[in-house]
Amino acid sequence: MRFKTLLFSTLIAFSLPVIGQEKSDKFDFRSGAGISLLSSGDMRTFNYENEINYKLNQYFTTSASINLGRSNYGALETASFTQGNLNFYISPFKNNRRFDFRIGTGLTYYGISDAYQSAANYENGVLVDLDYSFDKRNSLGCNIIIENSYLLTNRVLIGLKIFSQPYLNGDINSGLLLKLGLKI
């Protein structure tokens, strides 16, 4: 009995790479980097995104992505966030050629950490003590996206994404990403 289970498991394990080698025009992986204005423009943030897209048909695509952001420039000493996104795109001019212009919306959830100077003590005009405060929060929001991509080859693409993400807690993150992708 164990031998049959082991044989069956081995055959499945060796057949999975063959299934994974079949080329599908439905999936693509995109990685991007850019800048955004976090908390209504208070912080200039560097963003990095990894995204997987699934083409439903010539007009509709869905995606899931993970973003990381970090800033040391703005109203606070530092801010960093991690977010997950689930999006739905419409390509009004079809996405079956080299250019794919699409408009999207979806849900986003993020966790952010801020650090800022809360107090400073001076003696005779010399700084002797700094106190920092930390703020952590999570929120759900929505995505508003305009993206255009171009196929450089049959599998490699380049694109530009403009987005805005208003959150339920009052934060907003808006920015621009340059993306490189690969059809898988």
Are residues 49 and 178 in contact, defined by beta-carbon separation less than 8 angstroms? Answer: no
Q: Which ranges of the chain have pLDDT less than 50? A: 6-7, 17-20
Nearest-angstrom CA–CA distance, 36 and 40: 10
**What does the pLDDT read at residue 41?**
61
Strands (E), 4-155: 27-38, 43-55, 60-74, 78-90, 99-123, 126-151
What is the predicted pLDDT for the residue at 39?
76
- Measured CA to CA, the distance from residue 62 to residue 85 in angstroms comes to 11
Q: What confidence score (pLDDT) does residue 63 get?
A: 97
Q: Which of 85, 53, 41, 88 is nearest to 67 (CA)?
A: 85
Could you give the domains of the chain? 24-183 (2.40.160.20)
Q: What is the per-residue pLDDT for 14?
A: 55
